[in-house]
Amino acid sequence: MDFALLFNLFRKPKQAKVADVTLWHKYETLLPVPLVDGGARNPSGQIWRRLNGVKWEYQQDPETIEEFDARQY
């Protein structure tokens, strides 16, 4: 009998690491999402999201000149 497993049955469970989803965090999506400003999604530029109450909000970083040039070729 493995006593380590037996003792683990009675220990306090570990708390899960919960991310604060009310802060903006990076988000990768395959489907189009409605942006906060109502604009169209840009092919480049990072998508960010946060939870506002019960609804997700999405915003996108503006495209830089370097990203635009890289997309042209």
Cβ neighbours of 58 (radius 10 Å): 18
Report domain extents, the chain.
Answer: 18-72
Give me the sheet containing 55-60, strands edge to edge.
Answer: 25-27, 47-52, 55-60
Q: HEC profile for the chain?
A: CCHHHHHHCCCCCCCCCCCCCCCCEEECCCCCCCECCCCCCCCCCCEEEEEECCEEEEEECCCCHHHHHHHHC
* 50 DSSP β-pair partners: 57
pLDDT at residue 58 tops 60: yes
pLDDT at residue 73 tops 80: no
Q: How confident is the model at residue 57 (pLDDT cuts 50, 70, 90)?
A: very high
Q: What is the pLDDT of residues 18-56, one digit of tens each?
A: 667 778 888 888 888 889 888 877 777 788 999 888 889
pTM over 0.85: no
